[in-house]
Chains A and B, each alone.
Chain A
Amino acid sequence: MSVKLGKLSRSVSIIGVGCTPFTDIMTHPKTKGLTEGELFGWAALEAMNDAGVEAKDVDMYFHGQGSPQQFSDYITPNAQVANWFGMRGKAAVHHSEACCTGYLALDLAVNAVASGKHNIVLSGTIEITGSAAAPGKPAHMRRPISFLDIMAGMPTLYDRAYTRQLEAGLSNAIDDVAADYCRQYGLTDDQMDDVLNALAINHRRSSARNPLALHQKEYKETAKEAGFDDPMKYLKSDSFNPRMGEYLRASGFEARCDGAGAVIVCPTEMAKQFKQQPIEVLGIGTALLEGSQPHLEKRATAEAIRQVYELTGVKPAEIDLLMANDFFITSGLLAAELSGYIPAGEGWKYILDGRTSYDGDKPINSNGGRTAFGHAFAASGLADCYEAVKQMRRQCGDHQVRKLPETVMLRGFGGGQNLTAGIIRTVQ
Chain B
Amino acid sequence: MKIGEPVVKRWYEALDEGKMLGLKCGRCGAVEFPPVYCCNKCSSTDMEWTEVSGKAKMLDFVLPSPLFARPENASLGFYCYGSIELEEGSYFSAIVIGVSKKNKQSIVARLPVPVKAEILQRDGFKTIAFRVVE
Contact = CB atoms under 8 A, between A and B. Distances in A.
Interface of A: 1, 151, 154, 161-162, 165-172, 174-176, 179-180, 183, 243-246, 248, 291-295
A170 B101 CA distance: 20
A167 B95 contact: yes
B40 interface: yes
A165 B125 contact: yes
Contact of B65 (A174, A291, A294): A174
B27 to A, nearest CB: 15
B92 to A, nearest CB: 5
Interface of B: 8, 11, 34, 40, 59-68, 70, 73, 81, 83-84, 91-95, 101, 108, 122, 125, 127-128
A168 B81 contact: yes
B60 A183 contact: yes
Contact of A294 (B73, B91, B95, B125): B91
30 contacts: A162-B8, A162-B11, A165-B125, A166-B92, A166-B127, A166-B128, A167-B81, A167-B95, A168-B81, A168-B94, A169-B93, A172-B62, A172-B93, A174-B65, A175-B63, A175-B65, A179-B60, A180-B60, A244-B65, A244-B66, A245-B65, A245-B67, A246-B62, A246-B63, A246-B101, A292-B92, A293-B93, A294-B83, A294-B92, A294-B93
Find the residue from A151, A166, A174 having the highest chain B CB count within 10 A: A166
A243 B62 contact: no
A171 B81 contact: yes
Contacts of B40: 1
A270 B93 CA distance: 48
Given A161-B34, A167-B95, A174-B68, 18 more contacts: A151-B67, A161-B8, A162-B11, A162-B34, A165-B127, A166-B92, A166-B95, A167-B73, A170-B68, A171-B64, A172-B81, A174-B62, A174-B65, A175-B63, A183-B108, A245-B66, A248-B65, A291-B93
Contacts of B61: 179
B128 A171 contact: no
Which secondary structure dominates chain A's binding surface? loop
A171 B92 contact: no
Contacts of B125: 165
A179 B64 CA distance: 12
Contacts of B66: 243-245
Contacts of B70: 167
A18 B127 CA distance: 47
A174 B67 contact: yes
Nearest to B8: A161
Contacts of A292: 92-93
B61 to A, nearest CB: 8
B47 to A, nearest CB: 16
Nearest to A245: B65
A422 B42 CA distance: 28
Contacts of A183: 60, 108
A294 B81 CA distance: 10
A45 B32 CA distance: 49
A171 B127 CA distance: 16
Nearest to B11: A162
Nearest to B108: A183
Given A175-B62, A183-B108, A246-B63, A168 B93 contact: yes
Nearest to B126: A165
3 smallest CB-CB distances across A and B, nearest first, come from: A172-B81, A245-B65, A294-B83
A165 B64 CA distance: 15
Find the residue from A165, A291, A293 having the highest chain B CB count within 10 A: A165
Find the residue from B70, B93, B122 having the highest chain A CB count within 10 A: B93
Nearest to A294: B83
Contact of B59 (A1, A171, A175, A294): A294
A179 B101 CA distance: 13
Contacts of A179: 60-62
A383 B95 CA distance: 36
Contacts of B108: 183
Contacts of A166: 34, 92-95, 127-128
Contacts of A291: 93
